[in-house]
Amino acid sequence: MYWTRLVAAVAVLGMLVMPALSRADVDPGQLYAPQGHAAAKPVDSMIAVAVGDAAPDFGLPALNGTVVRLSQFRGISNVVLSFVPAAFTPVCSGQWPGYNIARELFEQHNAVLLGITTDNLPSLHAWTRQMDPQGMWFPVLSDFWPHGAVASLYGILRPEGVTERAIFIIDRQGIIRHIEITDINLRPDLGGIIKKLSELQ
Amino acid sequence: MLGISGLFILWFALAGLVPVFTSQALAAAPAAGALKVGEAFPDVPLAGDLTEEQKGYLGLSGAGPWKFSDIKAGHVIIEVFSMYCPYCQAEAPAVNAVYEALRASEHADAVKMIGIGAGNSAFEVDFFRTKYGVAMPLFEDAELSLHELLGNPGTPHFYVVRLGKQGGTTVYSQTGRMESEKAFLAQCLKAAGR
């Protein structure tokens, strides 16, 4: 089991860094390109919540030094949780640079966006500044320690310790209204997310 | 099961995770896999939400999808972009300026300009259009099928294509942001023999 997980982790992390290989300005020696390989499953976890459930509450440290709790938005805002597998996916590979120009789309639907990965805060700080010198407009939360505790709570922690690429939409009453877990290689359509938000109005 | 090379191809193809070049020195060189000057440019299908003015500009009619070769022009400048790419976001005002300058030039009828949103859905293309006030006709490529046909270039990538009956011929290919709007348009027009 250990080796299976290790190989899966190697495969996933390799996938996350490989786009950088064609960047001529990246030192090839810094890139992780293991010899062993295995195809990562598109989804490799067991969802623990369902549409209609009360969203499990959590508190996670944010890049600005605060702790953000899901329940602080109850009765106030809809919430979109965007889990992505790992920091330092090359800049163009992420979802968040797209969300970073779409603040108005979320706010038009009275929605707070929370970005979450299982990376630690220093890594998330460096990564978000790499994507935009000003960072992201939305809170970026670290589910690093206890490792992947929130991802586990929602049932989207993969065996290699990264999360699925997942979207949860939670309404103002704290009820999960939409779950979208995509192939780890596929970015969810922003249009689909906004459409689901519009249906909450 | 995919081998590791298959994984990488899958990653490029599906995630559209298009690397970018930011330095001007790098910008001059096409990304690996991008179509090179002299190579055939495929007659890709084009789908998008165009205004009547935009359809008139390109010589298209109906709701599409159209073929690239349906465009009425001698040459076409193409920006392959992504709404998710910060470099494309930053480049949008410059691309708008180039489009305006081209439309105002004596070459407006002979050289047209379009954008293809690599990995972008209709919604995402529309959002990019609205966000940056893009007047240039934009086409969607949600499944990255066009992106693959165009050699999986990094974004932004600029092609100039001499139109033929079944696609065309690549006469200019550049990955990365332009050095200056004026110089870029001059390069494109020179490649188009103007």
**Of A18, A89, A101, Cβ closest to residue B89:** A101
A38 touches chain B (CB under 8 A): yes
Q: Is residue B17 part of a domain?
A: no
**Of A22, A37, A101, Cβ closest to residue B4:** A37
A48 touches chain B (CB under 8 A): no
User: For position A121, what pLDDT does the model report?
Assistant: 98
pLDDT band at A10 (very low <50, low <70, confident <90, very high): very low
Report the predicted TM-score, pTM, of the whole model to 2 decimal places: 0.84
Residue of chain B nearest A104, judged by CA positions: B131
User: For position B154, what pLDDT does the model report?
Assistant: 86
Name the minimum distance, in Å, from the CA of B131 to any CA of chain A: 8
**Of B10, B86, B155, Cβ closest to residue A132:** B86
Contact A120, A133 (CB under 8 A): no
Dist. CA B57–CA B137, nearest whole Å? 9
User: Which residues from A are below 8 Å from B7, CB to CB?
Assistant: 11, 14-15, 18, 37, 39-40
- Residues B103-123: tens digit of each pLDDT: 999 999 999 999 999 999 999
Tokens of A138: 């939305």
Mutate to test the interface with A, among B4, B14, B81 (most CBs of A within 10 A): B4
Lowest mean pLDDT among A66-80, A177-191, B25-39, B154-168: B25-39
Contact B43, B166 (CB under 8 A): yes
pLDDT band at A34 (very low <50, low <70, confident <90, very high): low
Average of per-residue pLDDT values in chain A: 84
Amino acid in position B31: A
Q: Is residue B62 part of a domain?
A: yes
Dist. CA A153–CA A83, nearest whole Å? 13
Contact B11 A92 (CB under 8 A): no
pLDDT band at A24 (very low <50, low <70, confident <90, very high): very low
Residue of chain B nearest A185, judged by CA positions: B15
Sign of the alpha-carbon torsion through A188, A191, A194, A195: negative
Helix, strand, coil percentages, rounded to 5, for chain A: 35, 20, 45
Number of domains observed in the structure of chain B: 1
pLDDT band at A73 (very low <50, low <70, confident <90, very high): very high
Q: Which residue has the tokens 């996350």?
A: A16
Exposure class string for A166-175: b at 16+ Cβ within 10 A, else e: bbbbbbeebe
User: Is the ipTM beyond the 0.85 threshold?
Assistant: no
CA dihedral A157, A114, B140, B26 (to 10 degrees): -90
Name the minimum distance, in Å, from the CA of A105 to any CA of chain B: 9
Complete DSSP assignment for B40-75: EE---EE-----HHHHHHHT--SS--EEGGGS-SSE
User: For position A152, what pLDDT does the model report?
Assistant: 98
User: For position A22, what pLDDT does the model report?
Assistant: 30
Question: Terminus-to-terminus CA distance in chain B, angstroms?
Answer: 50
A92 is catalytic: yes
CB pairs under 8 A between A and B: 108
Q: Is residue B22 part of a domain?
A: no
pLDDT band at A194 (very low <50, low <70, confident <90, very high): very high
Q: Collapse the DSSP code of A145 into the 3-class scheme (helix H, G, I; strand E, B; otherwise coil) and give the result.
A: coil
Higher-pLDDT residue of B123 and A17 is B123
User: For position A56, what pLDDT does the model report?
Assistant: 98
| Mean pLDDT within A141-162 | 97
Asked whether the predicted pLDDT for residue A30 surpasses 60, the reply is: no
User: For position A48, what pLDDT does the model report?
Assistant: 98
Q: Is residue B85 part of a domain?
A: yes
User: Which residues from B are below 8 Å from A20, CB to CB?
Assistant: 19
| A21 Cβ contact partners less than 8 Å away, ≥ 6 residues apart | A28, A31, A33, B8
Mutate to test the interface with A, among B11, B49, B128 (most CBs of A within 10 A): B11
A20 touches chain B (CB under 8 A): yes
Asked whether the predicted pLDDT for residue A7 surpasses 50, the reply is: no
Asked whether the predicted pLDDT for residue A40 surpasses 90, the reply is: no
Q: Is residue B119 part of a domain?
A: yes
Dist. CA A181–CA A85, nearest whole Å? 12
Asked whether the predicted pLDDT for residue A186 surpasses 90, the reply is: no
Dist. CA A112–CA A99, nearest whole Å? 12
Q: Is the previous residue joined to A146 through a cis bond, with omega within 30 degrees of 0?
A: yes
User: For position A39, what pLDDT does the model report?
Assistant: 63
Q: Which long-range contacts (CB under 8 A, 24 or more apart) does A62-69 make?
A: A62/A139, A62/A140, A62/A141, A62/A142, A63/A121, A63/A124, A63/A125, A63/A128, A63/A135, A63/A139, A63/A140, A63/A142, A64/A139, A68/A114, A68/A139, A68/A141
User: For position A27, what pLDDT does the model report?
Assistant: 38
Dist. CA A4–CA B170, nearest whole Å? 46
Report residue A184 CA to chain centroid gap. 10
Task: For strands A176-182 and B40-41, give the pairing.
Answer: unpaired
User: Which residues from A are below 8 Å from B124, CB to CB?
Assistant: 98, 189-191
| Mean pLDDT within A73-78 | 98
Amino acid in position B152: N
pLDDT beneath 50: ranges in chain B? 1-30
Q: Is residue B78 part of a domain?
A: yes
Assigned CATH for A60-182: 3.40.30.10
Higher-pLDDT residue of B10 and A38 is A38
CA-nearest of B91, B70, B105 to B20 is B91
Residue of chain A nearest B23, judged by CA positions: A25
User: For position B38, what pLDDT does the model report?
Assistant: 96
Name the minimum distance, in Å, from the CA of B150 to any CA of chain A: 16
CA-nearest of B148, B156, B170 to B96 is B156
Residue of chain B nearest A16, judged by CA positions: B11
Asked whether the predicted pLDDT for residue A67 surpasses 80, the reply is: yes
The catalytically annotated residue of A67, A76, A92, A101 is A92
Contact B124 A189 (CB under 8 A): yes
* Domain region containing B120: 39-192
Dist. CA A151–CA A157, nearest whole Å? 5
Mark residue A189 as left, alpha or beta (left: phi above 0; alpha: psi -120 to 50; beta: remaining): beta
pLDDT band at A95 (very low <50, low <70, confident <90, very high): confident
Higher-pLDDT residue of A22 and A88 is A88
Higher-pLDDT residue of B142 and A27 is B142
Higher-pLDDT residue of A24 and A183 is A183
Domain holding B122: CATH number?
3.40.30.10
User: For position A41, what pLDDT does the model report?
Assistant: 87
| A162 Cβ contact partners less than 8 Å away, ≥ 6 residues apart | A9, A12, A85, A86, A117, A118, A148
